[in-house]
Structure 1
């Protein structure tokens, strides 16, 4: 009888804990809502590679009384095919793909581990921890993610993370017969819209 009572109490707690909240899964679906950049420096000038394609999904929790009031971010992923990154130099692209070992590791991807919510005026700030994989090497990273809930049932996530290519076993690429050498410090910027 005590065992049955414990199970009943557990079920009641689960039900009441979830009352007032609803979870929704959002996915990256359209290319015109994606802006990802890999940026760095070189011996000649700064460089930038852009991509407008990615895949991924996120699970958000809202108050049921107001589905625009975000209460937590339960999970989030994004996946970027390295060869979708393009600069204004085909030679830089070629050497970057080689340095990033795209023959073996085709993707850069991120998976959220934990997040802490800080509501702001007309937006939300999430202090996140997650795993970033580049060239087959996975590292734990901490990153601020800015989130805006739009009126058209979409959620815009923006973030930026500075990394050293050498931490991921990547030798910074060079081109123009070695005259231009890229620096080790690189920044991954992203603006991604998740759609319900």
Structure 2
């Protein structure tokens, strides 16, 4: 199947390419459902394989679906791009019922909303989880709570004193995590009017005495 099959149906709004032997069709978001339906009804791609997304940062989210024709052995990737500010696409559950769980996973992992989905709710994450873990700007708490292997200098072994230079894990903002909180407290930002721990009046030069211990002189025998 060549590119003219798609251009005759959708015009110049689509772009057809090849990736490792699989045909890739890029369509605008407004043609998403029509393109997926065309692949099933006209090209015989009745087998739905998977649907997911890729975070392309400022460009938005690239939503990808892979379908397959058992008769012609055609592997087909259909892709579209949705903006980061409002990542919304119409659902394709009306074309492939198997897309329901894939769209739910893409919704909770990337935040892409599929309009018309019959049950768009979290699929894998625990109740009350905040954020979308597969977005590239999502901070992984484990990278801060556990030492990152890259924190060691090149050639530095696993024994001995650690390097003085601390490298933050990639993707972790400087003002995020326990280390930032400790730095803030050390700089005296723990709260207004709160003295540093262990501070005492510089005029007080005498340390308070301790009471007699058991067995000291002066007690009754």
Q: Which has the higher helix share?
A: 2
Scaled by the length of structure 1, the TM-score of the pair is 0.25
Return the structure number with greater relative CO, CA threshold 8 A, min gap 6: 1
Q: Which has the higher strand share?
A: 1
Scaled by the length of structure 2, the TM-score of the pair is 0.23
Larger radius of gyration between Structure 1 and Structure 2: 2
